[in-house]
Amino acid sequence: MKENNKGQEKMDKIAQQLNHFWNYFLHHELTTLTIIMFISLGIFFLSWLIEPRRLMNGILFTLAFLIFLSWFAVLIFSQNNKALTYTFGSIAILLFLTISLLVVFSWAFFLWNAYFVWKYESHSLPNLLTLFIGLALVGIWFIERIGLLRHLPQWVNLILTAAIVITIYLGIVMYNFLVNLLLYQFTPRGYKQDYLIVLGAGLINGNKVSRLLGARIDRAIAYSNKQYDKGHKRPKIIMSGGQGKDEDLSEAAAMKAYAIKHGMPEEYILLEDKSTNTQENMVFSKQIAIKDFGNNKFRAKFFTNNYHLFRAGLYAKLAHLHANGVGATTRLYFLPNAIIREFAGTFIMHKKRHFFIIGLIALIFIIQAIVISFGWAKYRIL
């Protein structure tokens, strides 16, 4: 009986020591993670505040967010509270399942979105992107279900694996773009601007401002009024947009007429009517502002739709225009197609870097396929 009691005492003592060790570990782990978390958050915020148009900000934000989640998890477990632990675990599992379901049924979302775009917008190729993506995902699912890829030669499977790896890389790049696009919506407004640059868009029937373009102008007028109401000088608005082949007048002229009709004093409107794309919008508008202001020390904001904001900011950076953007809202069903187009445009802006990485991935797997097809297994890289 005494031996059993002694054995139980030893077990209790060991359990107590393990519990002390665990609490000690959690305490110091929490302290270490807290320091790392604040450092990572500090690096991100410093980078974002200095230059919100930097692509690296998306990576820094993601790292900081993952470290924060790790810190929060350790904090929860260190409380030794079963109810709190179960609640946190349940929320984490629920989020994981939700994200998984969204990924698995993404084809349904793309096809659902394509229906609304088809119903309310023109049937142009850019407006059919979600339809093509949805159909492609359904096609991949169908091919997998019928087992078409199960009995292919190994070298063919390697080529298909390369395609999957490249797709994953593109997914990571797009995720980083989406994070940056979201973060850029929250750049400080700073109602002390000298110029507000409104980026043009195509005119309806060659002479009428579209709802999309009108939203940009309305946002700039509202910004101008708010700055004036705060007791600062009213900024001048630079309407930026040339005349297309199918347009009766320049976009800038049509935008000016729209702004005057909506209450903007004509003497506060400048025209930039030579540009044909976003990059030229930034370059030529900067020249107009320098000429009017007398030097390049002016303060400016540019205005476009929210989905176009980050890529426009990249072009402003390329033009050495020290201006961040303010986004006008866009109809929700229009956003998926528009964001995919913006991602493609941003991807092309950095095509050399991306094509090098994609080419490297493809080359590695092609070499493996050649090795397999000729039976040189001992020379395999992977």
Q: Residue 308's domain is classified under what CATH number?
A: 3.40.50.620
In terms of domains, do 96 and 220 share one? no
Q: How many domains does the chain have?
A: 2
User: Is 127 inside a domain boundary?
Assistant: no
Query: Measured between alpha carbons, how far is residue 56 from residues 63, 68, 348 in Å?
Result: 11, 18, 17
Q: Would you call 81 helix, strand, or coil by DSSP?
A: coil
User: Is 377 inside a domain boundary?
Assistant: no
pLDDT of 371 over the 90 cut: no
pLDDT of 267 over the 70 cut: yes
Rounded to an integer, the average pLDDT of 108-127 is 82
Please compute Rg for the chain using Cα positions.
28
The tens digit of pLDDT for each residue in 212-263 reads: 999 999 999 999 999 999 999 999 999 999 998 888 899 999 999 999 999 9
Strands 323-328 and 300-305, how do they pair?
Answer: parallel
User: Is 119 inside a domain boundary?
Assistant: no
Q: Sheet containing 300-305: which strands, arranged edge to edge?
A: 269-272, 236-240, 195-199, 300-305, 323-328
The CA angle 111-116-118, to the nearest 5 degrees, is 85
Q: Which of 104, 124, 147 marks a domain boundary?
A: 104
User: Is 189 inside a domain boundary?
Assistant: no
In terms of domains, do 199 and 334 share one? yes
Rounded to an integer, the average pLDDT of 312-333 is 93
> What pLDDT is recorded for position 130?
87
Give the number of other Cβ atoms within 10 Å of residue 315's Cβ. 21
Rounded to an integer, the average pLDDT of 5-12 is 66
**What whole-number percentage of the chain has pLDDT above 90?**
54
User: Is 379 inside a domain boundary?
Assistant: no
In terms of domains, do 97 and 202 share one? no
Mean pLDDT for all residues in the chain? 87
Kindly indicate the confidence band of residue 175, based on its pLDDT and cuts at 50, 70 and 90. Answer: very high
> What pLDDT is recorded for position 68?
92
Which of the pair, 253 or 374, is modelled with greater confidence? 253
Q: Quote the CA–CA distance of 129 and 78 in Å, as a whole number.
A: 48
User: Is 138 inside a domain boundary?
Assistant: no
The tens digit of pLDDT for each residue in 14-73 reads: 767 666 655 655 556 677 788 889 999 999 999 999 999 999 999 999 999 999 988 888
User: Is 51 inside a domain boundary?
Assistant: yes
> What pLDDT is recorded for position 368?
83
The tens digit of pLDDT for each residue in 193-214 reads: 999 999 998 898 888 999 999 9
pLDDT of 372 over the 80 cut: no
Q: Quote the CA–CA distance of 349 and 356 in Å, as a whole number.
A: 14
In terms of domains, do 205 and 322 share one? yes
Kindly indicate the confidence band of residue 294, based on its pLDDT and cuts at 50, 70 and 90. Answer: very high
User: Is 118 inside a domain boundary?
Assistant: no
Q: Quote the CA–CA distance of 254 and 259 in Å, as a whole number.
A: 9
Roughly how many angstroms between the first and final C-alpha of the chain, as a whole number? 62
In terms of domains, do 90 and 225 share one? no
pLDDT of 9 over the 90 cut: no
Cβ–Cβ < 8 Å for 38, 29: no
Residue 243 φ then ψ, to 5°: -105, 120
> What pLDDT is recorded for position 192?
93
Print the domain residue range for 25. Answer: 2-104
Kindly indicate the confidence band of residue 382, based on its pLDDT and cuts at 50, 70 and 90. Answer: low
